[in-house]
Amino acid sequence: MNWRHLFSRRSARLTGELRARIRASFDRAAGDEVHFPATIDPRIYHVKLIRRHLGELTGRRVLDVGCGKGRFARVLHDQEPAAEICGLDLSLEMLRFAPAGVCVCAGSMTELPFSDAAFDAAYATESLEHAVEIDKAVSEICRVVKPGGRIVIIDKNARASGRLQTPEWERWFTRRELEGLLRRHCRHVESRDISYWEDVPPDGLFLAWLAVK
């Protein structure tokens, strides 16, 4: 059965059944190291952008939202051992790959199991696009970050839709759409096109949103 038409609406719901299906899909994907690698080249622009926007991390607590195998958290932990990096993901099988030294937590970004302002900063790379209830997830990410804390979201551009095969629940965003959701909670929001390498012009697939709560 093709479920895709059910997800075109902004009102799509992350029901228990859908959440279980997404989790099972990523549990299976955890065994696919080619498409879901546990490591990442620390020189890529995604990493640099997160580091630059988050700033000094010594003694800070940072949440990786939808961390998967923790490839970004691994780099941050290696580069900033005095920061406390926590990864949250729906898939326990993904979390099994998380590096030692990074604290992990299973759960949904639409209902983060943390108190308000528990983190100094948060980032989400290619995970918000799977949250289904996007405004709820954005609101949760912002809730758990302290006032003045920084947030980075990296995801794919709705204008590039169709370029890759995606599961039916996956949603890509326009710059304006996510800027609008972040502005409900953050005092500064900007976005830009990015590519994997700083000196390679963006090809329109990836966008980054940078916010200050």
Ligand X SMILES: C[S@@+](CC[C@H](N)C(=O)[O-])C[C@H]1O[C@@H](n2cnc3c(N)ncnc32)[C@H](O)[C@@H]1O
Which stretches of the chain bind ligand X, using CB under 6 A? Answer: 22, 26, 66-68, 71-72, 89-91, 94, 108-110, 125-127, 130-131
Q: Which is nearer to ligand X, 128 or 186 (CB)?
A: 128
Q: How far is the CB of 91 from ligand X (least distance, A)?
A: 4
Closest to 49 measured CA to CA, from 200, 205, 213, 198: 198
Q: Which is nearer to ligand X, 16 or 201 (CB)?
A: 16
Using left for φ > 0, alpha for ψ between -120 and 50, and beta otherwise, residue 70 falls in left
Q: Which is nearer to ligand X, 89 or 120 (CB)?
A: 89
3 state DSSP class of 140: helix
Give the dihedral sign, CA 127/129/133/139: positive
Q: How far is the CB of 36 from ligand X (least distance, A)?
A: 6
Q: How far is the CB of 187 from ligand X (least distance, A)?
A: 26
- Residue number closest to ligand X, CB atom: 68
* Cα separation, 191 vs 135, whole angstroms: 17
Q: Which is nearer to ligand X, 90 or 182 (CB)?
A: 90
Q: How far is the CB of 171 from ligand X (least distance, A)?
A: 11
Q: What are phi and psi of 50, to 5 degrees?
A: -60, -50
Q: Which two tokens stand for residue 53?
A: 């926007």
